[in-house]
Amino acid sequence: NVVASAKSCFAVRTHVHSASRLGRRLLSHRGQTHGWDQHIPTSLWEKMFIASSSAVGALRNPERADLVAALGDTTGVPALRNIRRRMLSDESGRQILKEKPILRDFVELEKMGSYKEGSLGRAYFEFMSSRGFSPQERPCVRFVDDPELAYIMLRYREVHDFVHVLTGLGTSVEGEIVQKWFELLQTGLPVCLLSATVGPLRISVSDRVRLATEWVPWALRASVQVPFFMNLYYEKLLDRDIENVKNFPLSFTLPF
């Protein structure tokens, strides 16, 4: 019993020391702004610790983008591998993975208003500027070990607002819930499930009924009827008519 107790105490001290080490590494990376080259090496235990603590924190405060991002980094690898497979099977997806464009480096929002009315670039400008959003706001990717998978995670975060523009879903609680269901069904990323399931706690009972009977079925139909959004090279489509960018017949209408 004494030996077992000593081993247990040693394990606790080891975990505390590892968490402390991790905290120091996190602090040392503060202030760095680029998205997919800020890798922080972490052990399996540290990833589990980050995932669990981030999940608890994000459940308490879903507005904490840093916690949601950390949860996504530490739980998303299997889904990211599947996204890579789908991108490699598509010509545009392969080009994106080869060139690895960084949206925050490419897009100058103040210049986007010069695109013609009805273009993707103009629609994106109007969506972002009307809400005070910036492409630079997306969190960095820090805990995905594979550099290409880390880039895919950043790409997913950066094109989120383009998905809003293409689907017509707004940024209300209802709109974000439906979009997260859509993203979950297209990507399989577990972090989408957090918003898709926690978000409904913030809406009325009648809207929860609509979520189950209208919104989720809409997201399911949309996810299989539209192209895989990760395969769209948005930077090269900004001057295109937004309806041509969609390039598919929408046989569904928005649920609200």
> pLDDT per residue over 90-123, tens digit each?
999 999 999 999 998 888 888 888 999 999 999 9
Quick count: other Cβ atoms within 10 Å of Cβ 256? 14
pLDDT of 90 reads 97
Give 230 or 254, the one with higher predicted confidence. Answer: 230
* Residue 116 neighbours by CB under 8 Å, 6+ apart: 122, 239
Q: Quick one: residue 151, left, alpha or beta (phi over 0 = left, psi -120 to 50 = alpha)?
A: alpha
pLDDT of 245 reads 84
Task: Tell me which amino acid residue 230 is.
Answer: M
pLDDT of 203 reads 86
Q: What is the DSSP letter of 211?
A: I
pLDDT of 15 reads 41
User: Is it the case that residue 12 has pLDDT exceeding 50?
Assistant: no
pLDDT of 21 reads 55
What mean pLDDT is predicted for residues 52-60?
Answer: 88
Q: Work out the angle between the directed axes of helices 91-99 and 147-158 (0-180°, nearest 10).
A: 110
Measure the CA–CA gap between 57 and 25, rounded to whole angstroms. 20
Give 43 or 198, the one with higher predicted confidence. Answer: 43
User: Is it the case that residue 84 has pLDDT exceeding 80?
Assistant: yes
Task: Tell me which amino acid residue 5 is.
Answer: S
**Positive/negative CA dihedral, 191, 85, 43, 21:** negative
pLDDT of 34 reads 45
Measure the CA–CA gap between 199 and 67, rounded to whole angstroms. 16
Band the pLDDT of 195: cuts 50, 70, 90. Answer: confident
For residue 251, the SS3 value is coil
User: Is it the case that residue 219 has pLDDT exceeding 50?
Assistant: yes
pLDDT of 247 reads 63
User: Is it the case that residue 37 has pLDDT exceeding 90?
Assistant: no
Band the pLDDT of 11: cuts 50, 70, 90. Answer: very low
Run of H or E including 32: none
Instruction: Tell me the average pLDDT of the chain.
Output: 83
Give 27 or 118, the one with higher predicted confidence. Answer: 118
Kindly report the CA angle at 128 between 248 and 186, in degrees rounded to 5? 40
pLDDT of 255 reads 63
What mean pLDDT is predicted for residues 217-227?
Answer: 88
Q: Are 115 and 240 a contacting pair, CB within 8 Å?
A: no
Band the pLDDT of 197: cuts 50, 70, 90. Answer: confident
Which of 19-23, 70-74, 203-207 is modeled with the greatest confidence?
Answer: 70-74
